[in-house]
């Protein structure tokens, strides 16, 4: 009945929504159970003395749920005490320690620094703050009017904590013609905290202060059910400056002592206290070494004291690794020169990214990769050295391997013309060659030593020859073969008469090349190498004229035609 505001809480996995109803002065409870998607159980309860409830908020104080509700029409605030749980009607009553409200509308409960606060927004712009101290359950405290901050018509309010800073948000509801009407308003209550960090969720935090003075430190503890309790204590920060220092830790090896060094940057440090983080190791020296009994991650603390009585604490971590034991394996079968060999690292006690690798391949090459590949250019006995290192220790292993002699694959071929037979000649070097494997690049293959092949389509082909010997070693040679186009030969001639020379015109063409040579046979025992020759027949008759034309790549084709020579005038 005329809902005004609502608040939602979760109690041990069960969700509840409470709605203030201005029409009948009641509070409606929606119980959703373990999911807000469930159909809720609905119940209402009334509050004696309330008139037009508006703002409502509910929070938990230790193990008891409590709430506040504003009574808009009679300028009051009422409390709700759910002693029997959220499913039962609460005990209610008026907050009596502060009553100077003017149309209290929206409300938010805030828990900050171990204390509870109620922030109440007036419809006329005023903001009220109720301070309950460390417990809200007895509903006693103090109240104050914080003013209207130049605003005169507010209705809603919401408060957000950002570390030690709190911000309130409200909406200005003045007449639309009023400047600023409808704006979102932000209240800022920043706290200048000298501590860094200002807030910590660590069980045992470490912090520093940038200025002297008395500072209140509050510890809030929560249990699994969401219950909270707080303890506050003041500490005094001296105006004396704490000494400044730096630390350096070198070494990560379990089998060797690790160096812990400290350097004073400012102040006059008189006492050094190291805690090496394993429950037993300590030192009062500025610089010391320490050997750990087991691998692991350790938190190191160095607490120093200055002559002025101030202390400083440095916290660092050291990762202690077991000593790496290097080893490696090789591929099975023959190890051949001119072939990449993969070295598989099988080092134990590996220390993650802290370990470094140094490979030496018989003085012929080196690598810092974990698992390198290396190609030997000569055959024979080779010593492989692997050094595995972490800061503080290093170990070395060696293996001697035999690199077999491999053949040197090479070949030659004659000029390749499309559709013509191309001869490939093996020119590989090496003893006891046993296999030849050709890949002509067009999907055809051969195992002959000196094969021939015909390309059907002009183009560029990558030809591969892999040659193997009786030791199981092989090498591969790749070369590019161009299959060139065959010329299309054609020619024309003038009217053939016996009394005058006949002009022959070459009309041959070739794709992706130039025509460079011509061989004419006029059928009467006379020949020519001109491109466009003329010829005089000494007698009449039929003569078979033939033209053989060549491209720049040596590819050729022939065409012929019968010329009938008639008697001239």
Q: What mean pLDDT do residues 52-58 have?
A: 95
Question: CA-based angle 33:35:39, to the nearest 5?
Answer: 70
Q: What is the mean pLDDT of residues 124-144?
A: 93
Q: Show the tokens assigned to 185.
A: 């308003």
Residue 219: its pLDDT value, please? 82
Structure tokens that stand for 444 in this block: 């055809």
Fold of 328-403: Immunoglobulin-like (2.60.40)
Q: pLDDT at position 497, please?
A: 85
Q: Give domain 3-189's CATH architecture.
A: 5 Propeller (2.115)
Least confident segment among 106-120, 175-189, 338-352, 383-397: 175-189
pLDDT value for 182? 64
CATH topology classification for 244-320:
Immunoglobulin-like (2.60.40)
Contact 406, 379 (CB under 8 A): yes
Asked whether residue 111 carries a pLDDT value surpassing 70, the answer given is: yes
> What single-letter DSSP state applies at residue 205?
-
- Report, as an integer, the average pLDDT of 288-292: 95
- Per-residue model confidence as pLDDT tens digits over 342-391: 999 999 876 666 789 999 999 999 999 999 999 999 999 999 999 999 98
Please tell me the distance from the alpha carbon of residue 390 to that of residue 356, in angstroms, as a whole number: 6
Topology, domain 491-565: Immunoglobulin-like (2.60.40)
Reply yes or no on whether the pLDDT at 96 is more than 70: yes
User: How open is the CA angle 465-466-468, to the nearest 5 degrees?
Assistant: 140
Give yes or no on whether 411-484 and 491-565 have one common fold. yes
Six-digit token pair at 405? Answer: 């002699």
Q: Where are the domains of the chain?
A: 3-189, 195-237, 244-320, 328-403, 411-484, 491-565
What's the whole-number average pLDDT of the chain?
Answer: 90
196, 163 contact by CB (below 8 A): no
Range with lowest mean pLDDT among 294-303, 394-403, 550-559, 560-569: 560-569
Nearest to 246 by CA among 347, 315, 344: 315
CA 385 to chain centre: 35
CA dist 9 → 78, 200, 443 (Å)? 19, 25, 74
Cα–Cα distance for residue pair 427/275, rounded to 1 Å: 74
Cα distance between residue 77 and residue 238, in whole Å: 44
What pLDDT sits at residue 234? 75
Residue 433 contacts residue 467 (beta carbons within 8 Å): yes
Beta bridge partners of residue 525, listed in sequence order = none
Task: Using DSSP bridges, classify how beta strands 26-33 and 208-209 pair: parallel, antiparallel or unpaired.
Answer: unpaired
Q: Is 468 exposed, middle or buried (0-12, 13-18, 19+ CB in 10 A)?
A: buried
d(CA 114, CA 125): 28
Most confident of 208-222, 252-266, 269-283: 269-283
Residues above pLDDT 90, as percent of the chain: 69
428: nearest Cα among 405, 406, 407:
407
Q: Confirm if 537 and 501 have CB atoms less than 8 A apart.
A: no
CA distance 258 to 255: 9
d(C-alpha 504, C-alpha 293), whole Å: 102
- Which token pair is 120? 């109440």
Q: What is the pLDDT of residues 504-527, one digit of tens each?
A: 999 999 999 999 999 999 999 999
Q: Is the pLDDT of residue 538 over 80?
A: yes
**Is domain 411-484 given the CATH code 2.60.40.10 in the classification?**
yes
pLDDT confidence band for 252 (50 / 70 / 90): confident
Q: Distance between CA atoms of 406 and 413, rounded to whole angstroms?
A: 23
pLDDT at residue 265 tops 60: yes
Per-residue pLDDT at 149 exceeds 70: yes
* Averaged pLDDT for residues 157-169: 80
Residue 114: pLDDT band with limits 50, 70, 90: confident
Residue 191 has a pLDDT of 65
């Amino acid at each position: 009945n005329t809902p005004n505001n609502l608040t939602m809480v979760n109690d041990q996995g069960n969700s509840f929504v409470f709605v203030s109803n201005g029409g009948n002065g009641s509070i409606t409870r929606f119980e959703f159970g373990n999911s807000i998607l469930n159909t809720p159980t609905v119940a209402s309860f009334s509050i004696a003395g309330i008139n037009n409830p508006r703002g409502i908020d509910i929070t938990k104080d230790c193990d008891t749920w409590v709430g506040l509700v504003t009574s808009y029409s009679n300028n009051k605030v009422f409390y709700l005490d759910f002693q029997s749980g959220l499913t039962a009607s609460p005990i209610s009553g008026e907050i009596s320690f502060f009553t100077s409200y003017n149309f209290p509308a929206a409300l938010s409960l805030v828990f900050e620094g171990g204390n509870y606060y109620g922030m109440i927004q007036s419809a006329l712009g005023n903001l009220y703050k109720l301070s309950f101290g460390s417990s809200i359950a007895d509903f006693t405290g103090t109240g104050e009017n914080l003013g209207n901050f130049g605003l005169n018509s507010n209705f809603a309010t919401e408060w957000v904590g950002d570390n030690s800073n709190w911000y309130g948000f409200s909406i200005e509801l003045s007449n639309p013609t009023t400047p600023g009407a409808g704006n979102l308003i932000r209240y800022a209550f920043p706290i200048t905290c000298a501590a860094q960090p200002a807030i910590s969720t660590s069980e045992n935090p470490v912090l520093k202060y940038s200025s002297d003075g008395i500072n209140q430190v509050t510890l809030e503890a929560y249990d699994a059910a969401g219950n909270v309790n707080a303890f506050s204590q003041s500490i005094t920060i001296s105006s004396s400056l704490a000494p400044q220092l730096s630390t350096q830790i070198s070494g990560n090896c379990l089998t060797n002592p690790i160096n812990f060094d400290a350097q004073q940057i400012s102040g006059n440090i008189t006492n050094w206290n190291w805690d090496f983080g394993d429950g037993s190791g300590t030192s009062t020296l500025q610089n010391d070494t320490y050997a750990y009994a087991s691998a692991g991650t350790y938190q190191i603390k160095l607490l120093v004291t200055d002559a002025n009585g101030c202390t400083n604490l440095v916290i660092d971590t050291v990762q202690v690794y077991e000593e790496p034991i290097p080893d490696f394996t090789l591929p099975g079968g023959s190890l051949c020169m001119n072939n990449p060999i993969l070295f598989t690292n099988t080092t134990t006690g590996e220390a993650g990214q802290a370990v470094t690798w140094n490979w030496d391949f018989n003085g012929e090459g080196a690598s810092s990769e974990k698992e390198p590949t290396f190609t030997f250019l000569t055959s024979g006995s080779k010593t492989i050295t692997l050094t595995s290192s972490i800061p503080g220790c290093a170990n070395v292993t060696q293996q001697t391997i035999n690199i077999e002699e491999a053949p040197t694959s090479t070949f030659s071929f004659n000029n390749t013309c499309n559709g013509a037979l191309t001869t490939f000649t093996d020119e590989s070097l090496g003893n006891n060659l046993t296999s030849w494997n050709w890949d002509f690049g067009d999907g055809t293959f051969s195992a002959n030593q000196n094969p021939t092949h015909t390309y059907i389509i002009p183009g560029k082909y990558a030809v591969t020859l892999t040659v193997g010997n009786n030791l199981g070693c092989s090498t591969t040679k790749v070369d590019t073969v161009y299959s060139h186009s065959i010329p299309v030969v054609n020619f024309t001639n003038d009217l053939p008469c016996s009394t005058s020379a006949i002009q022959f015109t070459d009309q041959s063409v070739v794709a992706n090349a130039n025509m460079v040579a011509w061989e004419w046979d006029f059928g009467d025992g006379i020949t020519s190498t001109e491109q466009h020759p003329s010829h005089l027949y000494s007698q009449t008759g039929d003569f078979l004229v033939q033209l053989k034309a060549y491209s720049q790549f040596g590819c050729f084709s022939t065409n012929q035609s019968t010329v009938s020579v008639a008697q001239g005038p």
